[in-house]
């Protein structure tokens, strides 16, 4: 009980309270402590990625092991993952081998970053290739596909049945139309109206929602610090 | 997408025709673009792009363009319906995305923040300087995080989570009060300039929007009388904002789509769109 519940709650209390107060006590020690903790959080984030890796690998391994329908696609996840890791970390493996054997190896010299600890100017590594020709195009395409689904959903659901729905519809049409060059050709005020909607009513609502979310976040943070909210500890 | 993927597994004759046409389209257009005199795409160290005859230039960039074009077409094929091309591209993307994040996490978080200042001194000989022993704390907490894989020691990961959650909560309180509450309230109230009617009207509009939306979300009093009127105005503001956000999002995604199509035409098919 002490190790499993009391100490974690105490850690959250001490760390949370310290960093809530630290902002208002700007001594050199408190500022250094913020720098330390920020770096520590980054390191923990790095370790957390390993948990994510395990989760994805485990899910797809179960599909492959059981021969579930579509398990071939899970193999493609492995191809993408292993390929990217090999290209990105082969230099690190080379460095490890160099340290272990005491001799310099060159099997990963095509990777600029890791073998030399810093990027070489104008050197395009295999990892860059994966980013430029696989990751970036796929990301941009995935996000752009959503334009069609959002537009299609809007076409089916947008109906100006009430005055509120009419406001929503008109604002959406003005902002969409105001963002294309032909709008200024139709009437030069349309892009200005679209900009005005974004900069005034829209910004006011975003501001109000941000204030509401922030008050909720502060309340939740206080509940965590004082041990009222313990969902992060999980079960038992 | 998952629901559709699981529920729609039959392949019709129309689907097969679509797969064949898509494959032929990709192979045919790729062959056509490669058959030109321009050859391989080559980016010089100074950033200038040139085309070298096939067999004389580095083939990696050409291969990359073909891979990217294939992935783009495969992902857009989802607009017809869920299909094997889309699923294959989607799964490759998931694997590459995680691999990319892991490599970045290694270089930016673990290597930069832990290996160089601490571990390097242990594993390499003759390194100048002093190790930062304070980093043993996050190293231990990181190992505790990995204890989730060992059932009897799973509870150790709670200490790491407690640190992350406590730190995040503690840092959030003053920063959010300052940036998201006080500064937003100040900007809402202090910007009214009565010397300029247009600016004053805009500032009053923003103030009315902030107040009315906050009143709409205040559920501790019944929305009747004056409160009801203000909250009704808040709903109008919310609807305008939702519409504007929707339009803005659609146009943002459209810009991405236009960018992809432009890329396909210029880089894959090598048809210059601008001089």
Q: Which of B96, B112, B131 is the last residue of a domain?
A: B131
What is the arithmetic mean of pLDDT over B246-265? 93
Between CA A141 and CA A128 the distance in angstroms is 19
Whether A76 and A136 map to the same domain: the answer is: yes
Q: What is the DSSP secondary structure assignment for residue A120, as one 8-state letter?
A: P
CA-CA distance, B29 to B271, in Å (whole number)? 12
A117 and A183 share a domain? Answer: no
Q: Does residue A121 lie in a domain region?
A: yes
Whether the CB of B76 is below 8 Å from some CB of chain A: the reply is yes
- The pLDDT assigned to B165 comes to 96
Query: How high does pLDDT run on average in chain B?
Result: 88
Mean pLDDT, range B199-226, rounded to an integer: 93
A162 shares contact with chain B (CB less than 8 Å): no
For residue B72, give every residue at least 6 positions away whose Cβ sits within 8 Å of its Cβ, in sequence order, or none.
A137, A138, A141, B260, B263, B264
**Is the Cβ of A133 closer than 8 Å to some Cβ of chain B?**
yes
Using alpha carbons, select from B252, B15, B50, B7 the residue that is nearest to residue A176.
B252
Q: Is there a contact between B99 and A165 if contact means CB atoms under 8 Å apart?
A: no
Contact yes or no for A202 and B60 at CB 8 A: no
Tokens describing residue B169? 């909560």
Domain boundary among B110, B131, B152: B131
Shortest alpha-carbon distance between residue B141 and chain A (Å): 7
CA closest to B259 among chain A residues: A140
B122 neighbors A109 (Cβ within 8 angstroms): no
Q: Are residues A85 and A134 in the same domain?
A: yes
Contacts of residue A234 in chain B, CB cutoff 8 Å? Answer: 158
Across the interface, which of A45, A69, A164 has its CB nearest the CB of B236?
Answer: A164
Are both B274 and B211 inside the same structural domain?
yes
Could you count the other beta carbons within 10 Å of the beta carbon of residue A192? 13
Distance in Å, alpha carbon of A54 to nearest chain B alpha carbon: 9
Distance from the Cα of residue A170 to its chain's centroid: 33
Smallest CA–CA distance, residue B73 to chain A, in Å, is 9
- Tokens 């313990």 sit on residue: A230
Phi first, then psi, for residue B171 (nearest 5°) are -70, -35
Residue A16 lies in a domain: no
Dist CA B118 CA B114 (whole Å)? 6
- What does the DSSP 8-state code read for residue B153? G
- Taking an 8 Å cut-off on Cβ atoms, the answer to whether B110 and A47 are in contact is yes
Beta strands in chain A (DSSP E): none
pLDDT at B3: 43
Q: Are residues A125 and A179 in the same domain?
A: no
Is residue B161 domain-shared with residue B234, that is, in the same domain? no
CB contact under 8 A, A84 and B96: yes
pLDDT tens, residue order, chain A (236 aa): 888 899 999 999 999 999 999 999 989 999 999 999 999 999 999 999 999 999 999 999 999 999 999 999 999 999 999 999 998 888 888 888 888 888 888 777 666 444 444 444 444 578 888 998 999 999 999 999 988 888 888 888 888 889 999 999 999 999 999 999 999 999 999 999 999 999 999 999 999 999 999 999 999 999 999 999 998 888 65
Beta-strand relationship, B49-52 and B40-43: antiparallel
Contacts of range B15-23, beta carbons closer than 8 Å, 24 or more positions apart: B15/B81, B15/B83, B18/B77, B18/B80, B18/B83, B19/B83, B19/B84, B19/B85, B22/B73, B22/B77, B22/B85
The answer to whether B163 contacts A198, with C-beta atoms less than 8 Å apart, is: no
The answer to whether B11 faces chain A, any CB pair under 8 Å, is: no
Q: Is A82 on the interface with B (CB under 8 A)?
A: yes
A127-131, B203-207, B243-247: least confidently modelled range? A127-131
pLDDT surpassing 50 at residue B2: no
Tell me the residue range of the domain where B180 lies. Answer: 132-190
- For residue range B134-170, list pLDDT tens digits in order: 999 999 999 999 999 999 999 999 999 999 999 999 9
What percentage of residues in chain B have a pLDDT greater than 70? Answer: 87
pLDDT of B57 strictly over 50: no
Contact A210 B251 (CB under 8 A): no
- Answer yes or no: do B210 and B266 share one domain: yes
Q: What is the pLDDT of residue A105?
A: 81
Q: What is the pLDDT of residue B128?
A: 87
CA B36 to chain centre: 36
Chain B interface includes A227 (CB < 8 A): no
A26 class by beta-carbon count within 10 Å (0-12 exposed, 13-18 middle, 19+ buried): exposed
Task: Look at residue A117 and tell me if it is in a domain.
Answer: yes
Last residue within a domain, chosen from B94, B115, B131 = B131
| B218 part of contact set with chain A, CB < 8 Å | no
Closest CA to A84 of B60, B89, B95: B95
Q: What is the pLDDT of residue A235?
A: 67
End-to-end CA distance of chain B: 41
Flag whether A109 is in a domain: yes
Is the Cβ of A224 closer than 8 Å to some Cβ of chain B?
Answer: yes
User: Mutual orientation of helices B225-263 and A189-199 as an angle, nearest 10°?
Assistant: 120
A141 has a chain B CB within 8 A of its CB: yes
Tell me what pLDDT residue A121 has: 43
- Largest pairwise CA distance in chain A: 77
Distance, first Cα to last Cα, chain A:
10
Angle at A194 between CA A191 and CA A199, to 5 degrees: 125
Q: Which two tokens stand for residue B180?
A: 């998201």
Same domain flag for B185 and B201: no
Residue B48 is predicted with a pLDDT of: 67
Total number of domains constituting chain B: 3
Which pLDDT value is given to residue A116?
A: 42
Do the Cβ atoms of A147 and B253 come within 8 Å? yes
- Least confident range from A39-43, B72-76, B121-125, B182-186: namely B121-125
Cα separation of B54 and A106, whole Å?
A: 29
CA-derived radius of gyration, chain B:
29
- CB contact residues (below 8 A), chain B span 101-140, against chain A: 101-103, 105-111, 113-114, 123-124, 134-135, 137-139
- In this structure, the dihedral spanned by the alpha carbons of residues A6, A8, A14 and A19, taken in order and rounded to 10 degrees, is -160
What's residue A89's pLDDT?
87
CA-to-CA separations, A8 to A39, A42, B173, B255, in angstroms, rounded: 20, 19, 20, 47
Query: Are B6 and B99 in a shared domain?
Result: yes
> Is a pLDDT exceeding 70 seen at residue B71?
yes
Kindly compute the dihedral angle of the four CA atoms of residues A169, A172, A173, A179, in this order, to the nearest 10 degrees: 180
Q: Are residue B88 and residue B126 in the same domain, yes or no?
A: yes
Please identify among residues 173-212 of chain A the ones whose CB lies closer than 8 Å to any CB of chain B. 173-176, 179-180, 194, 196-212
Confidence band of B46 (pLDDT split at 50, 70, 90): low
Is A73 in the same domain as A153? yes
Domain assignment of residue A171, given as a range: 159-199
- Asked whether residue A153 falls in the same domain as residue A192, the answer is no
CA–CA gap between residue A141 and residue B253 (Å, rounded): 9
Strand partners, B42: B50
DSSP one-letter code for B209 = H
Residue A101: the pLDDT is 86
d(CA B251, CA B264): 20
Do A80 and A121 lie in a common domain? Answer: yes
């Amino acid at each position: 009980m002490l190790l499993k519940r009391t100490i974690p709650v105490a850690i959250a209390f001490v760390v949370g309270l310290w960093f809530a107060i630290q902002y208002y006590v700007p001594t050199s020690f408190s500022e250094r402590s913020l720098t330390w903790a920020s770096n520590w959080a980054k390191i923990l984030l790095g370790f957390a990625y390993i948990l994510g890796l395990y989760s994805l690998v485990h899910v797809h391994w179960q599909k492959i092991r059981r021969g579930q329908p579509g398990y071939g696609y899970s193999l493609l996840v492995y191809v993408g993952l292993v390929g990217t890791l090999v290209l990105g970390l082969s230099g690190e493996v080379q460095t490890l081998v160099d340290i272990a054997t005491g001799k310099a190896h060159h099997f990963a010299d095509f990777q600029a970053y890791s073998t030399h600890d810093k990027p070489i100017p104008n050197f395009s590594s295999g990892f860059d290739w994966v980013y430029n020709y696989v990751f970036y195009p796929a990301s941009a395409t995935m996000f752009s596909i959503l334009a069609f689904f959002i537009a299609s959903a809007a076409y089916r659901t947008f109906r100006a049945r009430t005055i509120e729905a009419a406001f929503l519809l008109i604002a959406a049409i003005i902002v969409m139309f105001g963002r294309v060059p032909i709008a200024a050709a139709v009437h030069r005020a349309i892009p200005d109206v679209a900009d005005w909607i974004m900069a005034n009513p829209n910004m006011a609502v975003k501001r109000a929602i941000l204030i509401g979310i922030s008050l909720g976040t502060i309340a939740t943070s206080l509940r965590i610090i004082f041990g009222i909210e313990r969902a992060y500890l999980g079960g038992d | 997408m998952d629901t559709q993927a699981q529920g729609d597994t039959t392949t019709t004759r129309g689907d097969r025709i679509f797969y064949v046409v898509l494959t032929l389209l990709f192979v045919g257009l790729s062959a056509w673009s490669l058959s030109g005199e321009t050859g391989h795409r080559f980016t010089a160290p100074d950033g200038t792009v040139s085309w070298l005859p096939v067999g004389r230039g580095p083939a990696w960039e050409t291969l990359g363009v073909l891979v990217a074009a294939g992935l783009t077409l495969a992902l857009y094929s989802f607009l017809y319906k869920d299909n094997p091309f889309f699923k294959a591209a989607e799964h490759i993307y998931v694997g590459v995305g995680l691999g990319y994040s892991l490599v970045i996490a290694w270089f930016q978080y673990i290597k930069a923040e832990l290996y160089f200042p601490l571990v390097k001194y242990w594993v390499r000989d003759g390194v100048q300087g002093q190790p930062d022993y304070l980093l043993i704390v996050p190293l231990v907490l990181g190992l505790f995080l990995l204890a989730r894989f060992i059932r009897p020691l799973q509870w150790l990961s709670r200490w790491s989570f407690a640190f992350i959650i406590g730190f995040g909560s503690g840092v959030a309180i003053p920063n959010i009060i300052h940036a998201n509450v006080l500064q937003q309230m100040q900007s809402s109230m202090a910007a009214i300039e009565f010397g300029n009617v247009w600016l004053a009207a805009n500032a009053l509009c923003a103030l009315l929007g902030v107040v009315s939306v906050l009143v709409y979300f205040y559920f501790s009093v019944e929305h009747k009388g004056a409160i009801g009127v203000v909250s009704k105005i808040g709903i109008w503001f919310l609807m305008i904002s939702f519409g504007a956000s929707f339009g803005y999002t659609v146009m943002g995604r459209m810009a991405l789509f236009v960018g992809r199509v432009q890329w396909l035409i210029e880089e894959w098919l090598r048809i210059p769109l601008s001089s």
